[in-house]
Structure 1
Amino acid sequence: MKRIKGSALSDGIHHHEHHDLCSRRDFIRKLGLFTAGSSFVLGSTPVQALQSSSLFRKLAGLETNRVLVLIQLDGGNDGLNTIVPIENDIYYNAREDLAISKNSTVTLTDTAGMHPSMSPLESLWNEGKMGVIQNVGYPSGDLSHFRSTDIWLTGSSHDEYLETGWMGRHLDQQFPDFQENPTEYPLAVQIGGASSLLFKGSSLDMGMTLNDVEVLEYLLENGEIYPTEGMPDTIYGDEMRYMRIMANNSFRYADTIKTAYDSTSNQVEFNDQELGRSLSIVSRLIKGNLGSKIFLVSLGGFDTHANQLEDHSNLLSELSNAIKDFYDDLNADGRSEEVLIATFSEFGRRVHKNGAAGTDHGTAAPLLVFGDNIEGGIIGSDPKLNNSDLDEFGNMVHEYDFRQVYATLLNDWFQLEESQTEETMGDSFERVPFLKTGNSVNNESGLSPFKFQLQQNYPNPFNPKTTISFTLQSTQPVKLEVYDIQGRVVQTLVEGTISAGEHRVRFDASNLSSGTYLYRLYAGNEIQTKSMTLIK
């Protein structure tokens, strides 16, 4: 691991230059109104009309209710003061007055306690709906904010520079007509955060990104992303008004988002802080059946080089209240089973405090997960803080690679095939057991209730094999048939009584000619039909 000059407060002017560089990057990102590829940037708000990579199409094709909500803790969260090693004398000696006393923590296990500001999450912990994955990081951790953030968002190694996000990775050829016929809803939504790299595909920016919750609130209230009234009666004002109208018209999902938001309401009164406001909107979009599979929200301020006790306490309080309100709001409408929440941060902090009542950039830290379908409890060992257990720079060594968590989410939560997960991540990663059994790709889902759904085959177009997936609400007689364009049955794939849950069937068209085919699912009184294209 290369130590970044400027990652510690003691680096003096270099530390300030490092943060000035981050600020300049953010400042440049916020300048003006301009077009860039398929996205518009309005003042401080990039608005990207959602496109798609094949991964997002695959997630859309699954037609699952499952949703992933990622919460980015921007700045590098101090894991040791979040999940406190309450029986570790090295921790207390290294931190002194910065350490969190054992008696003040929320007890999790005999050796671990939660920061007292996180007490709103105690009930989720006690109900088995909160999990802690200890010591998450990656080999040769980078201590630069923006470089390590890029690594986490792209799912790359420390010496690999990727321009695509792990959630937007290209898996196969694009649908030939997808750009001309996009989905009716955004597949992913980001509120806040300094980078939209997570959703970037090989050639298109795919994430619908609103970098300020106020902009999204304006959109939900007014049906547009930027006001066009009150502009100066000048040539500049006319040009700005025209550009804003153009941008509003280009944002194809405004009506869909507003319709989903207006169709439901929050059952819980959220805290008025920024993260609470963001998650209150996400909750309404989920309950309003927007259809988006992935949401990314952000909470900044975790770069606690100074005044950490107060600042970190306030941040963890905001985080915990927002997560608890979010879960309770979903649960009140019976939607909590569909949602998995996960936090991440670009790195943790060092073991020892610095000279300014704070901590400097470190490496491994805990990752928190929440939901009805997670295995509650702590996964992994307590942090190892002996000098012999630290790396050459005095930082903690990771136990779990963050890409193991990503692979688990793709494979066991979104139920992608192993080969698809491996192609997305660029390698095979061992799973982290934080999801309940029954969520893996080859098993019936633990989620309920199920809906009767026939999903789009994948891949499509195909040659000569493809997979057809479907979901049954209850055990019942089922028939799945393939027809040619003249309506003749060319193959019966399933015929018999099938149990409730998610199912996959492999279709081999080796003996068929190129062309368009229909596949139809009969289940009780319900019928669904989709088309697929065979190209040889």
Structure 2
Amino acid sequence: MKRREFLTMAAAASASLSMPRVFAAPHTSSGISTQLDAGATGRAPGKLIVLIELKGGNDGLNTVIPFADSTYYALREHIAIPRERVLPLDERVALHPAMRALLPFWRDGEVAVVQGVGCAQDHASHFRSTEIWDTASSADVYRHDGWLTRAIGQWPASQREVAAASFGSAEPGPFAGCAARVEADDAWARVDDPDAAPHAGWLDADRGEGDRVSGVAQALRVSAPTLRDSIDAALRTVVDRFAPHMCGAIRLTLDGFDTHSNQPAQHAALLRQLAEGCATLRAELTRRGRWRDTLVVTYSEFGRSARENVHRGTGHGGGAAHFVLGGQVRGGVYGRAADLARLDTDGNLPVDIDFRQIYATVLGPFLKLDANAVLQDDVPPLPLLRT
């Protein structure tokens, strides 16, 4: 396939797209073909990372609920989830009832619930906290390159091709700095009619088929109204457009978690989108033979306050639970259950697990990369994957 043909194909994601320029994948002289399979090429299936950003700061206490703790109900008179409605995982914690679509993952041992995750020095600012999570830096370190940008930089050494894409957000997030690796004038290009603008100002489409460019991923950014729309676009424009041996890194953004008021209905709707979206990913990637080699990870800039406010919402908080799902996941509940007797001076749950430990698990045990080199710190992984 000619590179110009590929760019045309990748641009046709939906009727209204917002795309960055390509993060540029090395390719063979024959181009990238969607017809190749791992068996035909003798290459192992590529690993796929799917990050789901819960933008705004997800309320971990009403996501993974300490229903056995009476203090939870005392702190949240109006927004606590009643005991009779929760979906118990064990004798202490339960899922929000809107997350019923995750129960098959739990029964099959394919979801890890990691409690008390966060940055050791959380910031109240959405911007700074998001920056910390996107760059995988300590609270007192300021970086401009995303952690997946650094991870992608390791892939060429292992001779793997990588597709990278972001759906549902105008921000590069964990791919920050990746665009600078490509020789193009504009970092981002807006495409209102992708069929009429097949090249979108990305790479020089006149490059020879065998030319290699500095960078390692082909990518696009798609604005989609729902998480399901983002998932459909990701499957159509990334998973189905690349050879099975290629690795992929996809970021999906689900916005609306900054629930300062009237939280119950809004939060339930978002959690339902999240759970049903994960179920769709599992079904579709299983059908494509990719689920075994996929890891889905949630993240959010911070949790919410333990105590509800007068507007039946929550303020910015500290540690929160997150999910890691996939065919290689060792299912279970990890970390210390939310202990509402251990609130910090701001009334927030403390952080027990450094969020970078989840990243280290993705990078090391799953992707077989040097996690410490990417994170530029000695960060141990968590035992979330089957050996």
TM-score tier, shorter chain, comes to 0.7 to 0.9
Q: Distance in 1 between matches of 2:23 and 2:206?
A: 8
Q: For 1:453-486, what per-residue CA distance to the aligned partner results, in whole angstroms no more than 9, with x for missing partners?
A: xxxxxxxxxxxxxxxxxxxxxxxxxxxxxxxxxx
Q: Distance in 2 between matches of 1:209 and 1:87?
A: 50
Deviation at 1:63, TM superposition (A): 6.7
Is residue 295 of structure 1 aligned with residue 276 of structure 2? Answer: no
Q: What fraction of aligned residue pairs are identical, expressed as a percent?
A: 32
Q: Specify whether residues 224 and 157 from structure 1 end up closer, same or farther in structure 2 by C-alpha distance, changes over 3 A only.
A: same
Aligned to 2:234: 282
CA contact (8 A) 1:46 1:209 kept: no
Deviation at 1:139, TM superposition (A): 1.3
Structure number having the greater strand percentage: 1
Q: Secondary structure at the match of 2:62?
A: coil
Aligned to 1:525: none
Q: Secondary structure at the match of 1:190?
A: strand
Aligned to 2:314: 359
Counterpart amino acid of residue 75 in structure 2? A
Matched positions, count: 335
Deviation at 1:332, TM superposition (A): 2.3
Which structure 2 residues correspond to residues 53-68 of structure 1 after superposition, within 5 A?
65-68=46-49
Q: Distance in 2 between matches of 1:184 and 1:210?
A: 25
1:247 is aligned, of 180, 196, 201, to 201
Q: Distance in 2 between matches of 1:248 and 1:189?
A: 14
Aligned to 2:326: 371
Aligned to 1:133: 114
1:91 is aligned, of 61, 72, 87, to 72
Counterpart amino acid of residue 228 in structure 2? G
Aligned to 2:38: none
Q: Distance in 2 between matches of 1:324 and 1:172?
A: 31
Deviation at 1:194, TM superposition (A): 4.2
1:164 is aligned, of 134, 142, 145, to 145
2:300 is aligned, of 329, 342, 345, to 345
Which structure 2 residues correspond to residues 163-202 of structure 1 after superposition, within 5 A?
163-169=144-150, 187-201=163-177
Is residue 395 of structure 1 aligned with residue 340 of structure 2? Answer: no
Q: For 1:62-111, what per-residue CA distance to the aligned partner results, in whole angstroms no more than 9, with x for missing partners?
A: 97511100000000000000010010111110001200011101111111
CA contact (8 A) 2:51 2:296 kept: yes
Q: Specify whether residues 308 and 152 from structure 1 end up closer, same or farther in structure 2 by C-alpha distance, changes over 3 A only.
A: same
Q: Distance in 2 between matches of 1:252 and 1:47?
A: 19
Deviation at 1:335, TM superposition (A): 2.2
Q: Specify whether residues 426 and 322 from structure 1 end up closer, same or farther in structure 2 by C-alpha distance, changes over 3 A only.
A: same
Deviation at 1:422, TM superposition (A): 1.2
Deviation at 1:393, TM superposition (A): 1.5
Q: Distance in 1 between matches of 2:378 and 2:335?
A: 20
Q: Secondary structure at the match of 1:189?
A: strand
Q: For 1:280-305, what per-residue CA distance to the aligned partner results, in whole angstroms no more than 9, with x for missing partners?
A: 22234324435352001100000000
Deviation at 1:198, TM superposition (A): 1.2
- Root-mean-square deviation (CA, aligned residues, Å) is 3.4
Q: Distance in 1 between matches of 2:69 and 2:344?
A: 18
CA contact (8 A) 1:84 1:113 kept: yes
Q: For 1:100-135, what per-residue CA distance to the aligned partner results, in whole angstroms no more than 9, with x for missing partners?
A: 011101111111110011011111111111110111
- If asked which structure has higher relative contact order (CA below 8 Å, sep 6+), I would say 2
CA contact (8 A) 2:49 2:248 kept: yes
CA contact (8 A) 2:152 2:162 kept: no
Q: Specify whether residues 209 and 399 from structure 1 end up closer, same or farther in structure 2 by C-alpha distance, changes over 3 A only.
A: farther
Aligned to 1:335: 290
Aligned to 1:9: none
Q: Distance in 2 between matches of 1:84 and 1:252?
A: 55
Q: Secondary structure at the match of 2:232?
A: helix
Counterpart amino acid of residue 50 in structure 1? F
Q: Specify whether residues 323 and 223 from structure 1 end up closer, same or farther in structure 2 by C-alpha distance, changes over 3 A only.
A: farther
Counterpart amino acid of residue 340 in structure 1? L
Q: Distance in 1 between matches of 2:154 and 2:64?
A: 43
Q: For 1:354-411, what per-residue CA distance to the aligned partner results, in whole angstroms no more than 9, with x for missing partners?
A: 111100000111110111100111111211111xx22222211111101111111111
CA contact (8 A) 2:167 2:234 kept: no
Aligned to 1:473: none
Aligned to 1:142: 123
Is residue 432 of structure 1 aligned with residue 382 of structure 2? Answer: yes
Q: For 1:183-231, what per-residue CA distance to the aligned partner results, in whole angstroms no more than 9, with x for missing partners?
A: 997631111224203113488267x99899xx69x54xx3745xxxxxx
Q: Distance in 2 between matches of 1:373 and 1:223?
A: 41
Is residue 48 of structure 1 aligned with residue 21 of structure 2? Answer: yes
Counterpart amino acid of residue 233 in structure 2? I
Q: Distance in 2 between matches of 1:280 and 1:139?
A: 35
Q: Distance in 2 between matches of 1:317 and 1:170?
A: 31
CA contact (8 A) 2:151 2:363 kept: no
Q: Distance in 2 between matches of 1:70 and 1:358?
A: 26
Q: Specify whether residues 211 and 334 from structure 1 end up closer, same or farther in structure 2 by C-alpha distance, changes over 3 A only.
A: farther
Q: Secondary structure at the match of 2:129?
A: helix
Q: Specify whether residues 429 and 252 from structure 1 end up closer, same or farther in structure 2 by C-alpha distance, changes over 3 A only.
A: farther
Q: Distance in 1 between matches of 2:280 and 2:153?
A: 39
Q: Distance in 2 between matches of 1:184 and 1:251?
A: 22
Deviation at 1:247, TM superposition (A): 2.0
Q: Specify whether residues 373 and 251 from structure 1 end up closer, same or farther in structure 2 by C-alpha distance, changes over 3 A only.
A: farther
Q: Secondary structure at the match of 2:131?
A: helix
CA contact (8 A) 1:75 1:346 kept: yes
**Higher Cα radius of gyration:** 1
Aligned to 1:312: 267
Q: Specify whether residues 350 and 246 from structure 1 end up closer, same or farther in structure 2 by C-alpha distance, changes over 3 A only.
A: closer
Deviation at 1:147, TM superposition (A): 0.5
Is residue 414 of structure 1 aligned with residue 360 of structure 2? Answer: no
Deviation at 1:159, TM superposition (A): 1.2
Q: Specify whether residues 187 and 126 from structure 1 end up closer, same or farther in structure 2 by C-alpha distance, changes over 3 A only.
A: same
CA contact (8 A) 2:161 2:247 kept: yes
Q: For 1:215-272, what per-residue CA distance to the aligned partner results, in whole angstroms no more than 9, with x for missing partners?
A: 69x54xx3745xxxxxxxxxxxxxxxxxxx772675799xxxxxx9xxxxxxxxxxx9
